[in-house]
Structure 1
Amino acid sequence: MVQDNNNPYQTPNAAPPLAHAEQDVPLATRGKRFFGALIDGLIQLAIIGPMVYFSGTWDEMMQSNGSLDLVGTLTWFIIGEVLFLALQGYLLFNRQQTIGKWLLNMKIVGMEQEQVPAGKLYGLRYLVLHVASQIPVVNLIGIVDPLLIFRKDKRCLHDLLAGTQVVDLKTA
């Protein structure tokens, strides 16, 4: 009897690759991740803060109880995202790091494969939460996101959305 080795219904012989969570990849500590995010935030603030002040937007906000109209909010949101990409884009898309992660020897990796596509890296890790932070009540997600780092796997909400985790390159 002749045996057909090209059976399309046969289960594959190769085992699927292990996710990074199952390998011995040293995860970045909560402290390093906190300071990396702090560095990134302070860099962004150091640039956008003077822009808001010298454009007159700060005075406008102070006269209206700290709020902006929809057009002002959208304008500054877009400026913030463009600035974020200008500052972080090269490292993010080429090395899967932000400035803070680069300075502290950390890297963003995928759970299924090390390289994370740019759309997932920026869109799911950053943009979704940046948009959510602009919506009243939904912006409480900005509190929940970093608190999830206290889980055993040290993954925040943005990591869960994008299927990523942050590893420590110094101890790798």
Structure 2
Amino acid sequence: MLFEEYVAKPLLAGAGISVPTSRSVRTADEAATVASDIGPCMIKAQVPTGKRGKAGGIRAADDSDSARVAAADILGMDIGGHSVETLLVEAKVPIAHELYAAIVNDQQSQGPLLLFSRHGGMDIEDVAAAHPNDLLQLPIDIRNGIDRNLLELLITPAVPADAVDLLCTTLLNLYEVYINNDA
């Protein structure tokens, strides 16, 4: 199941995963109002497809005026065959390093597959092409879930030691979201 970000974020937050403050909007004026409440933010097209950033569907805004302009530019865009009708206005957060994590339905194993890379902030296809050895692909036995000890062993080389525990907890919580939402 492919969730739009504005639908997925509350599910993640409900599972104990930290997410930035955000609200979905449908007009440029609503985006400006939200931006005035949360401050510097990202304006993100909400469509059920990837490559939103490359298509111009994700823009930074420092204030309500720039949020209004960005929202007006993005609304109505066609991204991957989908017209942008909804935006997510999300608080900017400082980023030390972006990671990539997803749980997808794997055609080969006919079950969930955890994808993880220390190279976040770009399309996973680009990560796989540029850094094929840095993309962890862990098939998950739906009956047993993810073994935390195995997960720690697999991700430890990719992240700082002080991040391993939090990252393992986050990935296990992500799996719970997957299971609890009939993904």
If the TM-score is normalised by the length of the shorter chain, which range does it land in? Answer: under 0.3
The structure with the larger Rg is: 1
Higher strand share: 2
Compare relative contact order (CA 8 Å, sep 6+) and give the higher one, 1 or 2: 1
Higher helix share: 1
TM-score scaled by length of structure 1: 0.23
